[in-house]
Amino acid sequence: MTKLVATIKGVYGYVPADVLSNKDLEQMVDTNDEWIRSRTGISERRILKDPSLASSDLGLEAVKGLLEKTNTDLSEIDLLICCTATPDMLFPATANLISGKLGLKDTPSFDIGAACSGFIYGLSVAKQFVENGAYKKVVLVGAEKMSSIVDYTDRSHCIIFGDGAGAVLIEATEEETGIIDILLKSDGVGSKHLHQKAGGSLNPATLETVQNKEHFIHQEGAAVFKFAVTKMAEISAQIMERNNLTPENLDWFVPHQANKRIIDAAQRRMGLPDEKVMLNIQKFGNTTSATIPLCLWEWEDKLKKGDNLVLSAFGGGFTWAAAYLKWSY
Ligand code: COA
């Protein structure tokens, strides 16, 4: 029997219309456009302004677009996975909420929390379900309303994050394409450098936690940066080596868009020219688990069947991950 390999059969992205530019941020905190661009590579990001909408609504738009584009009927979806660090609520899962809004009935859905590495962690889970024959069509969506946990009076992190969602359809193929290899890593040492202090079972919400701004992102930028630079470069090189990929036969690098300098370090380690690196950090900033599918969505026209792609990410936890894909359409 031919071995089934899971593959991406379609991709769709969604970002809210409102733009928050570096110039806008200059009015809000003590920063400037030149500093932000040179330290991060970001010029603007999208923000979901409507307070009645959340991550599930961004995810819903991405999934609806994906289903329409791939002519997929709701009845064909076997599983919906959402990766998010900004769930609408602690429970139910944002995947359940997206499923409900889509009108899915009896279809399993759950969330994956691996912060910025969420999409690659999600790919690894979808891959198992498809390759063991349990499910035929899996929808994987990264959806983030990062603006809901950003303190717009804190210049150390408000410049980085943006809102958005990206979704992929994963199915089996018998061709020589697909999600070939995945590497996943984590190290709890990172929790002290990047977390949201309150709102969970450790520090439930109180008047005090709100007054102390403990429901926003706590980020020690320099410590995160140091770890991210090393680990994202290391795992990207590792997945190349173990799959005999070289700067010549690797067609695309799809990095998590956290900071252009982190991407540059990985690119250098991999020995890749600029034209092989997908970048959209300048317009969307760091949308956490949505960055990679948003890149794939924007570059989809340029991808050819058989192209070799390396995806890699680093995020809170710490978590980091890489995937080797042979594009299948
Ligand atoms: N505008 C202007 N100056 C700023 C600033 C801003 N938005 N943010 C910080 N600064 C200042 C600091 O106060 C500091 O000033 P000082 O030297 O007078 O004390 C100086 O710039 C350097 O601060 P530092 O935090 O060392 O800057 P950095 O070069 O590390 O850049 C980040 C800050 C946040 C951009 C960077 O650390 C980063 O990208 N970290 C990783 C974040 C990340 O990827 N998070 C998501 C995980 S995937």
Question: For the segment 181-220, what is each residue's pLDDT rounded down to a tens digit?
Answer: 999 999 999 999 999 999 999 999 999 999 999 999 999 9
Residue 197: the pLDDT is 97
Tens digit of pLDDT for each residue in 41-99? 999 999 999 999 999 999 999 999 999 999 999 999 999 999 999 999 999 999 999 99
Say which residue the tokens 């603006």 belong to.
147
Nearest Cα residue to atom 32 of ligand 1: 221
Q: Is 286 a catalytic residue?
A: yes
E strands, the chain, where? 5-14, 19-21, 44-46, 79-83, 109-112, 138-144, 164-173, 178-186, 194-196, 217-219, 252-255, 308-315, 319-326
Q: Write down how long the chain is.
A: 329
CA 59/CA 61 separation, integer angstroms: 5
Protein residues with CB under 6 Å of any ligand 1 atom: 31, 35-36, 39-40, 116, 155-156, 159, 219, 221-222, 224-225, 228, 258-259, 286, 314-315
Contact 293, 166 (CB under 8 A): yes
The catalytic residue among 256, 280, 295, 308 is 256
**CATH of the structural domain 180-326, one choice from 3.40.47.10, 1.10.3450.40, 2.60.120.10, 3.40.50.740:** 3.40.47.10
Q: At what angle do helices 55-69 and 94-102 cross, to 10 degrees?
A: 50
Q: Is 32 a catalytic residue?
A: no
What the block records as the tokens of 182 is: 């995945």
Contact 10, 68 (CB under 8 A): no
pLDDT confidence of 131, banded at 50, 70, 90? Answer: very high
Say which residue the tokens 């317009």 belong to.
283
Q: Is 116 a catalytic residue?
A: yes
Checking if the pLDDT of 1 tops 70, the result is no
Tell me the CA end-to-end span of the chain in Å, nearest whole number: 23
CA 36/CA 38 separation, integer angstroms: 6
**CATH of the structural domain 5-176, one choice from 3.40.47.10, 3.90.420.10, 3.30.930.10, 3.60.15.10:** 3.40.47.10
Three-state SS at 197: coil
- In this structure, the number of other CB atoms found within 10 A of the CB of residue 255 comes to 27
- 114: DSSP letter: -
Residue 221 C-alpha to ligand 1 middle, in angstroms? Answer: 6
Mutate to test the pocket of ligand 1, among 156, 158, 194 (most ligand atoms within 8 A of CB): 156
**What are the residues facing 182 on neighbouring strands?**
323
Contact 108, 135 (CB under 8 A): no
pLDDT confidence of 3, banded at 50, 70, 90? Answer: confident
Query: Mean per-residue pLDDT for 275-295?
Result: 98
The catalytic residue among 96, 286, 295, 308 is 286
Residue range(s) occupied by CATH 3.40.47.10 in the chain: 5-176, 180-326
* Nearest ligand 1 atom, CA 156: 8
